[in-house]
Amino acid sequence: MAEPIEIDIWQGEMAELEVDALVIAANESLFMTAGAAASVKRLGGADIERAAVAQGPIPPGSAVATSGGSLAAPYVIHAVGVGHDRIADPVVLATAIRSALAFADPLQLRRIAIAPIGVEHGAFTAEDAAGVLVTTLLAEAPSTPIEGIVIATPHAPEVRVLGDALRAADAGSRVS
């Protein structure tokens, strides 16, 4: 039986976290123009975006990995949970999260930070996105080498919603 994965919720700038990879919401073209993606590009350098765009476009439900540029995290995983059509499809969102987690084995990721994917353009409510994120992480992450996950957001209301989702899943979360 796999060891339980530690899941923490953290309010702050995810690009500053010292983890093995940052998982950010991406658009199909992989340009890093908003939210956590824009912050990662600003702090880690434009080479992250150039490397992502060179691998695109990709369909919703997919993910690509790039280097972390000058970030503390050596990798950035760009996950497309919502397409240009802005349709909130929980199956596509869960598939994008699974696609991101699939990089854990080849990149030997032990600790990742993930942003709440799907809320960046209002496609999902924070509650719906948190439910899909938590459910997918709890179901999929134990089959990877990942030992710890930080769900990171700069927004206090999302911290509360994510904490509620983890408590509802009885995941033993920590909100910091």
At residue 176, does pLDDT exceed 70?
no
Q: What is the CATH number of the domain that holds 131?
A: 3.40.220.10
- Asked whether residue 56 is assigned to any structural domain, the reply reads yes
Taking residues 72-78, what's their average pLDDT? 98
| pLDDT of 120 | 80
Q: Reduced to 3 states, what is the DSSP secondary structure of residue 55?
A: coil
Asked if pLDDT for residue 93 goes beyond 50, the answer is yes
For residue 89, what are the CA distances in angstroms to 61, 135, 141, 154? 10, 15, 21, 24
Q: Distances in Å between the alpha carbon of 170 and those of 34, 134, 135, 150?
A: 32, 10, 11, 16
Whether pLDDT at 49 is above 90: yes
The yes-or-no verdict on residue 113 having pLDDT over 90 is yes
75, 55 Cβ separation under 8 angstroms? no
- Whether pLDDT at 1 is above 50: no
DSSP 3-state of 150: strand
In a domain, 90, yes or no: yes
pLDDT at 175 over 60: no
Q: pLDDT tens-digit profile of 133-169?
A: 999 999 999 999 999 999 999 999 999 999 999 999 8
Count other C-beta atoms under 10 Å from residue 74's C-beta. 14
- Give the residue numbers spanning the domain of 157: 6-175
- Rounded Cα distance, 55 and 12, in Å: 29
CB 99 within 8 A of CB 62: yes
CA distance 80 to 73: 20
The reply to whether 1 falls in a domain is no
Task: Report the mean per-residue pLDDT for the chain.
Answer: 93
Is residue 173's pLDDT more than 60? no
**Number of domains composing the chain:** 1
Which pLDDT belongs to residue 16? 94
Query: For 77-90, what is the mean pLDDT?
Result: 95
